[in-house]
Structure 1
Amino acid sequence: MALPTLRIIGFILGIFLITLAVSMVIPMLTLLLFERTDDLNAFLWSSLITVLAGLALVAPGRPEHAHLRPRDMYMLTTASWIVVCCFAALPMVIIQDISYTDAFFETMSGITTTGSTVLVGLDHASPGLLMWRSLINWLGGIGFIGMAVAILPLLRVGGMRLFQTESSDWGEKVMPRSHMAAKYILLVYIGLTVLGFLSFWVAGMTPFDAVNHSMSSIATGGFSTSDASLANWTQPAVHWVAVLFMILGALPFTLYVATLRGNRKALIKDHQVRDFVAFLVAIWLAFGTWLWLNSEHAWLDAVRIVAVNVTSVATTTGYALGDYNQWGSFAVMVFFYLTFVGGCSGSTSGGLKIFRLQVAYVLLKANLQQLVHPRAVIKQQYNGHNLDDEIVRSILTFSFFFGITIGVIALGLALMGLDWMTAMSGAATAVANVGPGLGPIIGPAGNFSSLPDAAKWLLSLGMLLGRLEILTVLVLLTPAFWKH
């Protein structure tokens, strides 16, 4: 990779670090509001270190004649997530007095909007730290939306080129310039966050809890201000508000923009959105009825409890309402399968994404028809797009390596002495960016604090791979990438 290219990547990383340093002002103001100035120095020092590192990268200036090619975006995307995590972990090390391994794991979990945690005692933790966790959830969410909408289609990763029309044709369909599109998406993101804050507050949360849960809900990140997660609030309204905003965070943000720009049926007509919402409602009703028949809950309460937990796992948020590990082996298997679903493309959620499952169905249907009518020319379309060989190959490649990555990480965790359920569900929840795993150790009633350090680093890698759609990172390991 040429020196001017490295300089421009360093320049952009420097801007990211300066932005991160400025973001630390928000938890500082929170500490001043709560009169907890004992933790203020942690953010002051962390902000100073981060801004100095950012200025050091920005100081040489941006090369005049250097331009980023699509292949350079792989390096920038991966490097930005890692570098930001390295510096965002600093306040946690100072405030919680935890190892850098734990702080990095927590930060990677936050920025990738996974929601796995190693921290305990959240109910009595520093308000500045709680605000910082939710804020990095929120920043990671909008960061991934930008990447999923603007970068991944250009890089032709995992079939995301299906949605290149929404990201590149804004000149005719949504708005005149791409930077205006980014501005509108940010405004929608902020607007939904504000609406979530007001809704949680009216539903019964304190303003502090409401703003934290609003940020982590719309980012589908799942960081809570309580060890018990949403079970800490008994008001049904709080739970339904969480369900609503988890779903809103898992829908394509470009469609929100299109709706605001006059296309009122943009969300309703989209195949992803319709199938995703229908899938969730069907699972709520069926699984909720099963829980009602096998527990002492009233039917409405059973559906509400199921709706929170199913939506949390399916949208890869990571909230929990009770311990569904106690519901029996059938429920555990249901939640294990839900781990892989994910939300829509161009949203804050992780997982396989609904569109890949829909495309798989289209391909299966076409192949079955081809078996019956060998000489027929069968059209393969999804959401108005023709499924050419390149898109199909990209989706199959991503799906294959999604499964292989989970298998390899699970094998590595088992090698470290973890039981099979912890190893398998830990790998799946990391790569799918879900949050809690299964079993007594990392399930919804536990956390990841007792895992060995090597396991935390491996899971951090899994979170990064899953958030960046795997192929974006793996391409950096090929010799061809580093050749001119």
Structure 2
Amino acid sequence: MPEGTTVERAFFAPVLHIIGLLTIALGLSMAFPAMADLVVGNIDWQVFTAASITTVFLGGATVLSTRRPEISLSLKQGFLLTALSWFLLPTAAAVPFVYADLDMGIIDSIFEAVSAMTTTGSTVMVGLDSMPPGILLWRSLLQWIGGIGIIVMAIAILPFLRVGGMQLFRTESSDRYDKALPRAQQMVKAITLVYLGLTVTCGLSYWAAGMTAFDALNHALTTLPTGGFSTHDASFGYFQTPLLHWLGTLFMIAGALPFTLYVATLAGRRKALLNDSQVRLFLWVVAGSVALLTVHLVGVRGFGVEEALRLSAFNVVSVVTTTGFATTDYSGWGALSVTLFFYLTFSGACAGSTTGGIKMLRVGVMLATLSVYIKRLVYPAGVFPRRFGGQDISSEITASVMVFTLAYASTVALAALALSAFGHDFVTSLTAAATAVANVGPGLGPIVGPAGNFAPLEPGAKLVLSVAMILGRLEIFTVLVLLSPVFWRR
């Protein structure tokens, strides 16, 4: 075998081996919706069973053909694994949508699967209230699987790939708790248990508050990953119980906090969450936004205080955590509300959680940099260190965050430009692009707004948004680096 071929095989084999294992896990998970359909006598159980067998077979063949005594990944392989996983796994996950009794084409199926696994929550499906349980459970399960994948990526991969200043998260969160859990594998296992525990607690809470067992299961599977898929066309607005709205708000916040800090709290650091600068910034943003919106709804729109506070809290938290649940069409609350929700679409919650967006960690770095810049304008000879969360912010991290933010805004602008080429108005194009890159779900306007649906969009527009969702979930540079000729040099 030529030396070049051997080197290339050694480079790709570990990556494909891990993707094969992930594909097997995805295929096995199809057994759950298959059983759900079998119980109610829906014929789609055959689709899920066939898709499961095929997916497991392909994953198993990949694993067997790439076996190695020891699997270790270089930096380049880490980039490749991260990007390929998020392009290939949604493709496999789309198969049941294609062949189920839904009348969905390939592009619609890919859009739905990508939206699910990136926990975006945008949907092209209508008539959810009357759909069979298997396909509803599959959508929810994909968001839950995507959520744990996002957490692992944010904690174990992105900080070491040094994407967009995420190395600061490694310094601020992960390394601080090395004594409690010295190995990354132990950390991932602990985080998975926390994620599972919160999901079970959420589901039981929903059920106790009045949801049916099936609704509670599905909404728990989509709340913790801050995904936003629902079993009803009216989303969370289907449930008129105030207690359910408050529980949803609470558990969306739970999914938006750094999961390493949950582990630290359980390991004995009781104030780990409240002492974290990123968490405090996130909670201040939520509190300020809820207060502003509540005053607006009471004073201008004529809402009662309790209703205004509840609706403000739920929908602000839903957008800033990039969940995308909606209890009402908040685009009808006036210009102030629409503008506020548009800004919150970009911010996101905490790094190390399941949320999308720019992340509060980067927002904090930018605010600290802005503060230092203003001080230097006033005192040119002064020395003002950049700090966030008790950590010094190096020039490298500052530059990385600024470049990421520029790339993020450019990606939104290009996606919006592409959507406008299909004839969509400015608001629809811009907010659909923003919500895709930020992995939020609903945008603004009659088509993609909280009361709308992405089904009317053209196939090309759906493909644009599918790519935008993956780019946003992978923090953009994880994909862009693969397009550089430098990456492929030996």
Give the Cα separation in 2 of the matches to 1:171 and 1:298: 45
Superposed CA deviations along residues 318-367 of structure 1, whole A, max 9, x for unmatched, are 00111112122222111111110101000000001111111111111111
Question: Is 1:378–2:364 an aligned residue pair?
Answer: no
Give the Cα separation in 1 of the matches to 2:31 and 2:487: 39
Once the two structures are TM-superposed, the CA of residue 372 in structure 1 deviates from its matched residue by: 1.9
Question: Is 1:389–2:395 an aligned residue pair?
Answer: yes
Provide the residue aligned with 1:163 in structure 2. 169
> In 2, are the aligned partners of 1:170 and 1:177 still within 8 Å (CA)?
no
Which consecutive residues of structure 1, in runs of 5 or more, have no partner in the other structure? none
Once the two structures are TM-superposed, the CA of residue 65 in structure 1 deviates from its matched residue by: 6.8
Give the Cα separation in 1 of the matches to 2:199 and 2:60: 31
Once the two structures are TM-superposed, the CA of residue 64 in structure 1 deviates from its matched residue by: 4.0
Specify which of 2, 14, 18 is matched with residue 8 of structure 2: 2
Give the Cα separation in 2 of the matches to 1:47 and 1:441: 34
Give the Cα separation in 1 of the matches to 2:281 and 2:362: 12
After superposition, residues 278-317 of structure 1 pair within 5 angstroms as 278-317=284-323
Provide the residue aligned with 1:42 in structure 2. 47
After superposition, residues 263-412 of structure 1 pair within 5 angstroms as 263-412=269-418
Give the Cα separation in 2 of the matches to 1:175 and 1:67: 21
Once the two structures are TM-superposed, the CA of residue 274 in structure 1 deviates from its matched residue by: 1.4
- Secondary structure of 1:305's aligned partner: helix
What is the letter of the counterpart of residue 79 of structure 1? L
What is the letter of the counterpart of residue 58 of structure 2? A
> In 2, are the aligned partners of 1:254 and 1:346 still within 8 Å (CA)?
yes
**In percent, how many aligned pairs have the same letter?**
47
Specify which of 20, 41, 51 is matched with residue 26 of structure 2: 20
Superposed CA deviations along residues 52-101 of structure 1, whole A, max 9, x for unmatched, are 21122112132347742112111100101111101101111112120010
Query: How has the CA–CA distance of structure 1 residues 66 and 5 changed in structure 2, closer, same or farther, with 3 Å as cutoff?
Result: farther
What is the letter of the counterpart of residue 38 of structure 1? I
Query: How has the CA–CA distance of structure 1 residues 65 and 254 changed in structure 2, closer, same or farther, with 3 Å as cutoff?
Result: closer
Provide the residue aligned with 1:135 in structure 2. 141
> In 1, are the aligned partners of 2:35 and 2:45 still within 8 Å (CA)?
no
Provide the residue aligned with 1:53 in structure 2. 58
Provide the residue aligned with 1:197 in structure 2. 203
What is the letter of the counterpart of residue 380 of structure 2? P
Specify which of 9, 18, 38 is matched with residue 32 of structure 1: 38
- Secondary structure of 1:440's aligned partner: coil
> In 1, are the aligned partners of 2:226 and 2:255 still within 8 Å (CA)?
yes
Provide the residue aligned with 1:215 in structure 2. 221
TM (norm. structure 1) is 0.97
Once the two structures are TM-superposed, the CA of residue 273 in structure 1 deviates from its matched residue by: 0.9
What is the letter of the counterpart of residue 54 of structure 2? I
Provide the residue aligned with 1:185 in structure 2. 191
Give the Cα separation in 2 of the matches to 1:61 and 1:265: 45
Superposed CA deviations along residues 82-131 of structure 1, whole A, max 9, x for unmatched, are 11101101111112120010010001000000000000000011111111
What is the letter of the counterpart of residue 424 of structure 2? L
Give the Cα separation in 1 of the matches to 2:114 and 2:71: 30
Which stretch shifts more, 361-370 or 400-409?
Answer: 361-370
- Secondary structure of 2:232's aligned partner: coil
Give the Cα separation in 1 of the matches to 2:162 and 2:210: 44
Provide the residue aligned with 1:110 in structure 2. 116
TM (norm. structure 2) is 0.96
Provide the residue aligned with 1:460 in structure 2. 466
> In 1, are the aligned partners of 2:177 and 2:264 still within 8 Å (CA)?
no
Query: How has the CA–CA distance of structure 1 residues 290 and 65 changed in structure 2, closer, same or farther, with 3 Å as cutoff?
Result: closer
> In 2, are the aligned partners of 1:170 and 1:178 still within 8 Å (CA)?
no
> In 2, are the aligned partners of 1:170 and 1:181 still within 8 Å (CA)?
no
> In 2, are the aligned partners of 1:442 and 1:448 still within 8 Å (CA)?
yes
After superposition, residues 64-103 of structure 1 pair within 5 angstroms as 64=69, 67-95=72-100, 96-103=102-109
> In 2, are the aligned partners of 1:170 and 1:176 still within 8 Å (CA)?
no
State the superposition RMSD in angstroms. Answer: 1.4
Which stretch shifts more, 277-286 or 301-310?
Answer: 277-286
> In 2, are the aligned partners of 1:252 and 1:345 still within 8 Å (CA)?
yes
What is the letter of the counterpart of residue 469 of structure 2? M
Superposed CA deviations along residues 116-161 of structure 1, whole A, max 9, x for unmatched, are 0000000011111111101000010110000000100100001110
What is the letter of the counterpart of residue 17 of structure 1? T
Give the Cα separation in 1 of the matches to 2:456 and 2:488: 39
Once the two structures are TM-superposed, the CA of residue 176 in structure 1 deviates from its matched residue by: 2.8
Give the Cα separation in 1 of the matches to 2:466 and 2:97: 16
> In 1, are the aligned partners of 2:36 and 2:134 still within 8 Å (CA)?
yes
Q: How many residues align?
A: 483
Give the Cα separation in 2 of the matches to 1:76 and 1:371: 44
Superposed CA deviations along residues 395-439 of structure 1, whole A, max 9, x for unmatched, are 011100000000001001101111111100000000000000100
Once the two structures are TM-superposed, the CA of residue 294 in structure 1 deviates from its matched residue by: 2.7
Query: How has the CA–CA distance of structure 1 residues 391 and 203 changed in structure 2, closer, same or farther, with 3 Å as cutoff?
Result: same
Once the two structures are TM-superposed, the CA of residue 457 in structure 1 deviates from its matched residue by: 0.5
Which stretch shifts more, 310-319 or 62-71?
Answer: 62-71
Give the Cα separation in 2 of the matches to 1:167 and 1:328: 39
Superposed CA deviations along residues 3-37 of structure 1, whole A, max 9, x for unmatched, are 2111121111111110001111111222234x233
Give the Cα separation in 1 of the matches to 2:163 and 2:472: 12
> In 2, are the aligned partners of 1:5 and 1:67 still within 8 Å (CA)?
no
Give the Cα separation in 1 of the matches to 2:219 and 2:301: 29
What is the letter of the counterpart of residue 74 of structure 2? R
Provide the residue aligned with 1:121 in structure 2. 127
| Runs of 4+ displaced beyond 6 Å | none
Give the Cα separation in 2 of the matches to 1:403 and 1:61: 39
Give the Cα separation in 1 of the matches to 2:273 and 2:176: 16
Which consecutive residues of structure 2, in runs of 5 or more, have no partner in the other structure? 1-6
Give the Cα separation in 2 of the matches to 1:185 and 1:7: 28
What is the letter of the counterpart of residue 179 of structure 2? K
Give the Cα separation in 1 of the matches to 2:334 and 2:388: 38
